[in-house]
Structure 1
Amino acid sequence: MIIKKISLYNFRQFQGEQSIEFSTDESQKITLVLGDNTSGKTTILQAFLWGFYGNANFKSKDSLLNAKAAQEMLTTKENQEVRISIELEHQDVNYFIIRTLTHYVKGNIVKANAISKVEMKYKQRDGQTDDIPPHQIQAKIGEILPEDLAIYFLYDTERFGNITSKTDVTSSVKGILGLTVLENMIKHIGSPTRLSNTVLGQFNAGLNLEGNKIATEAFNRVELAEKRKEAVIERLEQKKKEFEGYSKAVVERQGILRSLEKTKQLQVQKDSKVKMIKFEKTALLNAQEQFYSSIQNNTPMFLGQALFQRALEELASAKLDKKSIRDMNANAIKDIIERGICVCGTEICEGNSAHKHLLEEIRYLPPESIGTLLKYFKDKSETLLKAGSGFFIPLENSYKNIFNNLQKIGDLEDEIQYLNEELKKQDDINKHQEILMELEAKLKTITEDIAALNQELGELKKVIQDSLDTYEKNIRLSERNNELLKYIEYTKQVLEWVTNHRDKRENKIKERLEEEVNKYFSMMYHGKRKVTIDDKFRVELITTDLSEDIHTDESQGLETVKNFAFISGLVELAKEKLNDAYEKEAEAYPLILDAPFSNADEKHVKNISEVLPTVANQLILIVMAKDWNYAKNSLSNKVGREYYLNKQSEIYTKITEVK
């Protein structure tokens, strides 16, 4: 993507029609726009955002219409327009975007239409220009530069702050680096437990459930549980965001308290107690898990010990037969006599010795001999009693551990309460301590909410899995069902492959991004630090000149360096052929930077200036003259076009090209 020209008509302080043509020379790729404070530098950047997406992010809520043009309308009563025109090239095609907002007079007030009008044209190879249908325009703009990626390439240093901590960073980075196709494929296929309007959902909907009440009920349970699960997951994400916010607020408030000399020692003691409580709570959970696991795995043994003991005491004085054969009974002996041949092959005739021996044996077998049954029962009870004798010691130890952990947690909470009261006594920190206690109370409530939601989520997953098992067992009603079930199984295998492939690619890209960002960070920063990128593509700084790496706070200047390193890494990867054939094509992006050097010192400005031209295929710098002086030596020979924002008054700035 290359931006060729932007024209502003009555847009804020740019009265009438004024234009900037941008350098497209590969060796002199920089377009420089110089201006003083309030001359309209940020307005230029916002003009791009409004032209592309119809949204501007001005600090003030003033109208987009130039003030002088609005004043003239009150006299002429004629409508006036605000208009932005952008000419760009994308994948060898020239596009023209024109966004217009009409203003009119009502009473004695200038008002704007609620919605702007946008037109988009493209030039064909034969030179003819065609219109893009209105309903396709925003989709086409989003294809060229998606709106959630705009903050990376239309970058306002002073307005956006820490770009790597924004909530949409994950989806934005995935969009730049080409991971969204696989994710869209996963959504299209559907979840194995989600019976909705997806491939899996349509296969499941085609199954014949008529007359199968059990399967229908299981199907409905899955639907209801899935809807509830989505709500729980959404709520859980909200609570996690709240937890992050309150945790950050607690850390900040603790820092304020620690900075006050009178409370340092008390706060250190409290921090230590809080850590000890966390440790004891973890130990408590482990002890409870062991206790419940022992009970669940040995419930019959636990409940039967007393009964086994009483039974053996009752049978201690009983005279029990020891002549019987285990599992033999009188009916089996009678069947052998009636057959006339023993299992050993001996002939049995009435009156012979074998016949007499078998009749004698019947006396000791059930149902005639209760003594034999009692003997078997006694032997079994002794076995079970012996097997369970070692069960109580670990159970008792787990219970003791639970009791000890609870007691320690209670003691620590009492100590923390005492420390809180002591901290309150300090007049200069009373307000901060009260706020901290409120934050900690809120954090505790949120933690409990998260635990409850996680528990509900686990229960819902079990309901879904159990219902699916029931559903699948009862669904096989016809040949057509069997065919659909086969398709469903194939689809699940495809889903598993795509998911695994997505995860592997995401890990690979994250590693490459961290490598590229660190490369550019080391080129821009003059110190011993590096960056790490987590699973959500958020960037953190780490100091490396100590015995172990530690996370550190960031100044505005350091934040700026980190942001530019992050953007440079993204642009670099966007240009690489990391993507498979089914992913989007690699694309080069321009960088449009407003006040890029305002928060950086002279050394960092020099480093950033040397790196940025090597990254971007087009660089548009909107800067103050004093900030440009730091970068001038490194960048002046790469400037292809230069403009100056000549502020004539508070409501009129003239764009002048510097030859």
Structure 2
Amino acid sequence: MLLKSIEYFNFRPFLGKQRIEFSASNEKENVTVILGDNTHGKSTFVLSFIWCFYGVSKFNKPKILNENVENDMRPGEQGKAYVQIEFEDDGKIYTMKRTQRFFMQNNGVLKAEDSIANLTYIENNEQKTVGKMQSDINVAIKSILPYDLSSFFFFEGEKDNEISKKDLSGAVKILIGLEAFDNMRKHLHGPQTQDSPTAASVMGYYWEKQKDASGDAAKKAFAEKVAAEKKIGNVLKRITEINNEIVEYEDKIEEINQVLREAAPSKELQRRRDQIAREIKSAEENERKKNKSFLRCFSEESLALFLTPLLGKTADKLVELDVNDKGIKGIEAKAIRELLHRGECLCGTDLKEGSAAYKSVEKYIEYVPPRSIGVLVSDMQDKIAEYSEKNKQYVSKMEDLYSEILNCRTRIDELEREDKEILIKIREIGEFDTNEAEKNLTIYKGRLRSLREELQRKNSEKGSLGSAIETATNNFNMYKNKNKEVREYQVYYKYAEAIYNWVQDNYEQKEQQVRDKLNKHIKELFDNMYTGHRDISIDEKYNINLTFNGKDVDITGGLRVIKYFSYVGALVKTAYEVMKEREDGDNGEMLGEQYPLVLDAAFSHADSTHTKNIARQLASATSQLIFAVMEKDWNYAKEGLDGHVARIYELQKISETEVKIVEV
């Protein structure tokens, strides 16, 4: 996607029809500059792209229609305002136009209708319309530039645009061309959060066919599997939400602690609070491990405990029976008869019939199985003793684990009490009001504890549901009728599974390649823009992290801008390079596109050196760069844009309600 022009009609301060042409993309002169002081319409210029493409108003004042036009309207009269953007994408020229109509009511209040979007493109010298519904246009624009990434490419610097902590992977994958692979995976298998294919997928379809061709028992097992998968899907979704909330509350707690650190008289106390926080975290982690060990011990070793009441009754009953054990363990009557028949004992003694030795061995037939239960009773008594000893060991182990859990909880309570006492001391210093901070900390910590407990329960529930799914799947496979129809569907399923595995392997390989490339460009841009030293990288959700010596660093205004532009510049550079690889014919796949950067007040938080560095690096990294900038910042930025600037426009303020766009 590259911008060709934008046209306004009675849109906010831009009275009448006014137009800006943007520089060509494939030339070195890829920069368009919009000069204007504060309140001259620079923010309107940048945010008008978001309004036109997505119908979202991010303006401080909601009015769209130019005030001069509104003031001239009489009751019953109508007016309109629009923004029209011409852009090129995938070899086609598109025109996106969003219009909003207004009606002046008899009471002198202007009534605004919903805005209407229209998207057309040129193909074979013929103008065609993208869909008849607004939803069709929304889908088309989303496929070109996802809304989640729009604020990256249409940047309002004075708002300190920050890269959010939510999962950006979906939007980034669309941008750099991995969405097709993702859609293939979903088509074949369903969402990746599901261990088993969903009914709406290809694999799920043939799985359903196998079920339908099988008996009732198989259908019941399959229904149990589907129900468990639905539940585990909800559990996994909640686990993700909990983890995000935990990060959010940890950040809030850290923000309050940072404020307290900066209060000079309370620094020493705050250092102890930081130490307490680390000790609490360690104790909570230890408690979680002990809880896990406690549950595992109960799961694996509790049989002896439950058998104990029965074993006691059994032992008492055996005593009542008074069965004397005169037998020999492990020897049955059949073995004794065999010795007598052979006429020789195992020890070599002659067992001649009628001899004393013969009679001595023969009498044991009365005391060994199957004729006597004495040996069996003896075995049972040994078993009872063994289980009794195991029970003692089990109870002792469980008591030790429970004691350790209580010790962890007691330590956590002690640390939290100490933390509250320190907060009281900080408040008594009198130079900093900590009432609100203390109140919020209590709330946030309580919520954090609840979230962690819920997370533990949800993880346990996930494990149980996983076992239920495995059991139901095994039962389904066991109960299926092995008729010809089922075998045929099994073959189709295997084919779909093989294709899915191939797509999955290729997807993971390509995503890793793109992630490595993106990471490399982010680091290069950041190092070239920033004069100091920081380590920068992206995580698996494509969020950006800034560290120094392995620790997170505070992000100031200037550093935030550099971090932001490193990310955005690397995104567009990566997207362009992936597309270039496709054009070179390496693999014949469509995997990328070019994107513009439209920036307002990009340098408001940067010094002269960083302004020059940012301008130079962004002009080199992107195919199209559009600056809305004040004259004072432009004087530094243009030093880094040698030979790149193609067009310069000036926003001339006629009045508080009118701005004129003039090319200079």
When the two structures are superposed, what TM-score results if normalisation uses the length of structure 1? 0.85
Matched ranges for 1:242-281 at <5 A: 242-281=245-284
Mean Cα deviation higher: 177-186 or 361-370: 361-370
Moved more, 484-493 or 170-179: 484-493
Cα distance in 1, alignment partners of residues 97 and 612 from structure 2: 37
Match of 1:591 in 2: 597
Would the alpha carbon gap of residues 15 and 214 (structure 1) be closer, same or farther in structure 2, given more than 3 Å must change?
same
What amino acid is the match of 1:177?
I
Say whether residues 1:644 and 2:650 are aligned partners.
yes
Distance 1:219 1:570, change over 3 A: same
CA deviation after TM superposition for structure 1 residue 375, in Å: 4.9
Q: Is the 8 A contact 1:312 1:382 kept in 2?
A: no
**1:102-121 matches, cutoff 5 A:** 102-107=101-106, 108-121=108-121
SS of 2:628 mapped into structure 1: strand
Which one-letter code corresponds to 1:596 in the other structure? Answer: A
1:228 aligns with 2:231: yes
Q: 1:321 to 1:571 in 2, by over 3 A?
A: same
Show the 5 A alignment for 1:152-551: 152-159=152-159, 161-162=161-162, 164-165=163-164, 167=166, 169-188=168-187, 189-190=189-190, 191-209=194-212, 212-301=215-304, 320-321=325-326, 324=328, 326-329=330-333, 362-377=365-380, 398=401, 401-423=404-426, 425-427=428-430, 428-431=432-435, 432-476=437-481, 478-543=483-548, 548-551=549-552
State how far apart, in whole Å, the 1-side matches of 2:11 and 2:631 are.
23
Deviations 1:616-658 (A, max 9, x none): 1222211111110111233253221221111111111111111
Q: Encode CA deviations 1:229-261: one digit per residue, 9 max, x unaligned.
A: 333333333333332222211111112222224
Verify: 1:9 aligned to 2:9, yes or no.
Answer: yes
Aligned residue pairs total 639
From the superposition, tell whether residues 378 and 185 of structure 1 become closer, same or farther in structure 2 (CA, over 3 Å): same
- AA aligned to 1:505 is K
- 1: CA distance, partners of 2:293 / 2:434: 43
Give the % identical residues.
29
For residues 391 and 166 of structure 1, the distance between their equivalents in structure 2, rounded to whole angstroms, comes to 46
Structure 2 distance, partners of 1:419, 1:410, is: 14
Rounded Cα–Cα distance in structure 1 between residues aligned with 2:143 and 2:296: 55
For 2:29 and 2:150, the matched residues in 1 are separated by 24
5+ residue gaps in structure 2?
346-351
Q: Which stretch has the larger CA shift, 384-393 or 254-263?
A: 384-393
Greater alpha carbon shift after TM alignment, 127-136 vs 41-50: 127-136
Report the residue type matching 1:91 in the other structure: D
Greater displacement, 520-529 / 502-511: 502-511
Counterpart residue type for residue 484 of structure 2: E
Give the partner amino acid of 2:132: P
2:33/2:648 contact within 8 Å kept: yes
Contact (CA 8 Å) 1:193, 1:465: kept in 2 or not?
A: no
What residue in structure 2 maps to residue 620 of structure 1?
626
Output the amino acid matched with 1:186: R
Q: What is the distance in 1 between the residues matched to 2:492 and 2:302? A: 43
Structure 1 residue 325 displacement after superposition:
7.1
8 Å Cα contact 2:575/2:593 also seen in 1: yes
* Counterparts of 1:343 and 1:179, CA distance in 2: 85
Separation of aligned partners in 2, 1:211 and 1:567: 54
Match of 1:601 among 592, 603, 607: 607
| 2:636 paired with 1:630 | yes
Partners of 2:250 and 2:59 lie apart in 1 by 31
Larger displacement relative to structure 2 (411-420 or 450-459): 411-420
Q: Quick check: 2:167–2:541 contact (8 Å CA) kept in 1?
A: no
Which deviates more, 25-34 or 259-268? 259-268
Map of 2:71 onto structure 1:
71
Q: CA deviation at 1:173?
A: 1.7
- For 1:211 and 1:615, locate their aligned partners in 2 and report how far apart those are by CA, in whole Å: 59
Shift of 1:131: 4.1
**Are residues 299 and 493 of structure 1, via their aligned partners in 2, closer, same or farther at CA, if it must alter by over 3 Å?**
farther
* Cα pair distance change 1:422/1:141, threshold 3 Å: closer
Pick which of 437-446 and 136-145 moved more.
136-145
Inter-CA distance 455–386: structure 2 relative to 1 (3 Å threshold): closer
Residue of structure 1 equivalent to 2:84 = 85
Q: Say whether residues 1:94 and 2:98 are aligned partners.
A: no
Is 1:193–1:222's contact at 8 Å kept on the other side of the alignment? Answer: no
Deviations along 1:351-400, one digit per CA (max 9) or x if unpaired, are: 89999999666344334444444455566667778888977776665455
Match in the other structure for 1:134: 132
Q: Any gaps of 5 or more consecutive residues in structure 1?
A: 345-349
Looking at structure 1, the residues matched to 617 and 214 of structure 2 have their Cα atoms a distance apart, in angstroms, of: 70
Shift of 1:218: 2.9
Q: CA deviation at 1:522?
A: 0.7
- In the alignment, the residues of structure 1 paired with residue 140 and residue 377 of structure 2 have an alpha-carbon distance, to the nearest angstrom, of 87
CA distance change for structure 1 residues 480 and 373 in 2, over 3 Å: closer, same or farther? same
Residues 143 and 174, structure 2, Cα contact 8 Å, conserved in 1: no
* Contact 2:102 2:112 (C-alpha < 8 Å) held by counterparts: yes
* Contact 1:595-1:624 at 8 Å conserved across structures: yes
Secondary structure at the residue paired with 2:61?
coil
Q: For the residues of structure 2 that align with 1:252 and 1:201, how far apart are their CA atoms? A: 47
Structure 1 residue 596: deviation in Å? 1.7
Mapped to 2, the partners of 1:241 and 1:325 lie a distance apart of: 64
- 1:288 is displaced (CA, Å) by 4.2
Q: C-alpha deviations, 1:422-443, integer Å up to 9, x for none?
A: 4454544341223322222222
Note closer, same or farther for the CA distance 1:296–1:59 as it changes in structure 2 (3 Å cut): same
Cα gap change, 1:417 to 1:32, in 2 (>3 Å): closer
Contact preservation (8 Å) 2:423, 2:434:
no
User: Distance in 2 between the 1:43 and 1:405 partners?
Assistant: 57
Residue 538 of structure 1: CA displacement? 1.3
How far 1:557 moved relative to its partner? 1.0
For residue 564 of structure 1, report the CA deviation from its aligned partner. 1.0
The amino acid that maps onto 2:49 is F
Per-residue deviation, 1:556: 0.9
Indicate if the aligned counterparts of 1:257 and 1:267 stay in contact, CA closer than 8 A.
yes
State the Cα distance separating 1:572 from its structure 2 match. Answer: 1.4
Deviates further, 133-142 or 531-540: 133-142
Q: Which residue of 2 aligns with 1:347?
A: none
Q: CA deviation at 1:8?
A: 1.1
Cα 1:207–1:523, aligned 2, differ >3 Å: closer, same or farther? same
C-alpha offsets along residues 282-310 of structure 1, whole Å, 9 cap, x if unaligned? 33343444444445434455567895997
Any idea what the Cα deviations from partners look like across 1:30-80, whole Å, max 9, x if unmatched?
211111211111222223223323333211112x111122223317x4432
| Letter matched to residue 183 of structure 2 | N
What is the TM-score normalised by the length of structure 2? 0.85
Task: Write the deviation string for residues 439-496 of structure 1: whole angstroms up to 9, x where unpaired.
Answer: 2222222333333333333333333332222233223363222332343344445444
Q: 569-578 vs 374-383, which deviates more? A: 374-383
Structure 1 pair 159/381, CA: closer, same or farther in 2 (3 Å)?
closer
Give the direction of change, closer, same or farther, for the CA distance of 1:70–1:379 in structure 2 (3 Å limit): closer
What's the offset of the Cα at 1:570? 0.9
